[in-house]
């Protein structure tokens, strides 16, 4: 017998003796339970289009049975409904050749919040401070504010608008649990095509102090309207790559703004500087650095490359991420992955953007139908599909506090 064989048999005998010892004493190796503690985490959905879709022929079903979409989302595990509000979105009626009703104005938002709360969901109200979409490259000034020339008047206008909106909702028993000040404010807000004398709020041009003073007025309005309630204030930036720069400037003196949650958009097909594998560490580091809760406010992923109408889809031309094909299973698994990354990093929640934007006769500024039906949680017959099951899969792994 060679030395190598002797060594092999010696190791084998020791292993057998060790197993025998365990059996003789009745001991079994201890297995760590990694997720045995309760976790505070919110599963959310932006449902801002639901009313408009329902008004224009959209039908939602579960197993072929037509159901109310607010109930569908609640029963699928949605704990937080996000709704955008525009200042005076006259265009949402004009595209139908009429004057009313408007969508994503106060009246429409009141209806949406009422329906969501009746299904047990909490509410995140997203102030765009615009008559139309606000995003990193587009922050249009509401028509009613375009003649403002002093910072003080703008501060008062934002305060009064925010305060009156929230007080009205509160009078109806619909006060939101979370309030978002601006939408994807990477370069600030209220700066697109600004008149010459309008206060400068573009932070990409260095106007941090003006931006802080205006957003501070909005935050004060939230606190004054909320009274003693525990409504949380959120600021929102697109792409986690921008969080360090933005919040370093925003939280620096002078004029610190009181807020509770760092919010960010993360569309992994677009925001590629931080990969899925890096998401957990990036979120954990930001949370620790700024000592704030952190939430993913927008995300989505396609479940198919096909379309269900003539409105060109936003996602579909990009290659799928490795391991996450454009299938229902691929969509579900990437949502599980991102949710687990957020939970492990100590994140507060994750919100899917417009998972109910199915094809219908609904119109927006660019088309009729949906440019997002391949990213929803519904098949082309309006049936809830298994992409929405990511909530249950994550809940089965972690003890999520309701």
Cα 103 off chain centre by = 20
- 140, 280, 298, 333: the active-site residue: 298
33 is catalytic: no
* Measured distance between the N- and C-terminal CA atoms of the chain, rounded to whole angstroms: 65
Mean pLDDT of 216-227: 97
Confidence of residue 399 (pLDDT cuts 50, 70, 90): confident
Q: Determine which helix (DSSP H) or strand (DSSP E) holds 152, and give its type and residue range.
A: helix 151-171
Mean pLDDT of 106-115: 98
**CA–CA distances in Å: residue 290 to residues 1, 56, 259, 284:** 65, 44, 11, 10
- Listed in sequence order, the residues at least 6 apart from 180 whose beta carbon sits closer than 8 Å to its beta carbon are 82, 124, 125, 126, 127, 233, 234, 235, 236, 263, 297
38 is catalytic: no
Please give the model's pTM, rounded to 2 decimal places: 0.91
pLDDT digits (tens, 9 = 90+) for 283-332: 999 999 999 999 999 999 999 999 999 999 999 889 999 999 999 999 99
Judged on CB neighbours under 10 Å (0-12, 13-18, 19+), 30 is exposed
**CA–CA distances in Å: residue 235 to residues 60, 223, 247, 280, 294:** 32, 15, 9, 20, 10
Q: How big is the chain by its Cα radius of gyration, in Å? A: 25
Contact between 270 and 301 under an 8 Å Cβ cutoff? The reply is no
Mean pLDDT of 351-370: 98
Mean pLDDT of 203-208: 97
Mean pLDDT of 195-202: 98
- 184, 280, 333, 340: the active-site residue: 184
Confidence of residue 3 (pLDDT cuts 50, 70, 90): very low
d(CA 108, CA 83): 10
In the prediction, which pLDDT does 36 show? Answer: 63
Instruction: Residue 365: name the closest of 111, 103, 101 by CA.
Output: 103
pLDDT digits (tens, 9 = 90+) for 22-77: 443 333 333 334 456 678 999 999 999 999 999 999 999 999 999 999 999 999 99
pLDDT over threshold 60, residue 164: yes
In the prediction, which pLDDT does 37 show? Answer: 65
Average pLDDT, the chain: 91
């Amino acid at each position: 017998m060679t030395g190598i064989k002797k060594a092999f048999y010696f190791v084998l005998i020791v292993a057998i003796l060790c197993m025998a010892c365990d059996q003789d004493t009745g001991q079994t190796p201890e297995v760590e339970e990694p997720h045995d503690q309760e976790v505070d985490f919110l599963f959310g959905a932006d449902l801002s289009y639901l009313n408009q879709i329902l008004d224009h022929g959209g039908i939602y079903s579960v197993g072929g049975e037509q159901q109310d979409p607010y109930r569908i989302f609640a029963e699928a595990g949605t704990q937080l409904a996000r709704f955008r509000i525009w200042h005076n979105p006259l265009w949402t009626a004009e595209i139908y050749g009429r004057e009313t009703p408007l969508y994503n104005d106060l009246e429409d938002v009141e209806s949406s919040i009422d329906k969501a709360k009746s299904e047990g969901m909490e509410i995140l109200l997203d102030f765009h401070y615009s008559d139309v979409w606000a995003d990193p490259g587009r922050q249009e000034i509401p028509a009613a504010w375009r003649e403002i020339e002093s910072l003080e008047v703008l501060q008062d206008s934002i305060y009064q608008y925010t305060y009156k909106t929230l007080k009205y909702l509160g009078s109806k028993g619909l006060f939101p649990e979370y309030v978002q000040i601006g939408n994807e404010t990477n370069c600030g807000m209220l700066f697109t095509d600004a008149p010459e004398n309008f206060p400068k709020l573009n932070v990409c041009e260095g106007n941090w102090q003006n931006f802080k003073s205006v957003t501070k007025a909005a935050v004060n309005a939230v606190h004054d309207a909320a009274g003693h309630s525990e409504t949380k204030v959120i600021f929102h930036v697109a792409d986690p790559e921008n969080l360090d720069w933005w919040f370093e400037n925003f939280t620096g003196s002078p004029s610190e703004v009181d807020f509770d949650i760092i919010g960010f958009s993360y569309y992994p097909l677009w925001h590629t500087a931080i990969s899925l594998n890096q998401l957990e560490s990036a979120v954990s580091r930001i949370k620790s650095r700024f000592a704030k809760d952190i939430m993913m406010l927008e995300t989505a992923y396609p479940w198919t490359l096909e379309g269900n109408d003539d409105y060109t889809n936003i996602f579909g031309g990009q290659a799928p991420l490795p391991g996450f094909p454009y299938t229902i299973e691929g969509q579900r698994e990437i949502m599980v992955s991102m949710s687990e990354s957020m939970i492990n990093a100590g994140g507060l929640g994750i919100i899917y953007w417009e998972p109910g934007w199915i094809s219908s006769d609904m119109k927006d500024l660019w088309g009729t139908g949906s440019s997002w039906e391949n990213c929803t949680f519904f098949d082309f017959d309006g049936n809830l599909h298994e992409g929405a099951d990511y909530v249950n899969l994550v809940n089965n792994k972690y003890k999520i506090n309701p």
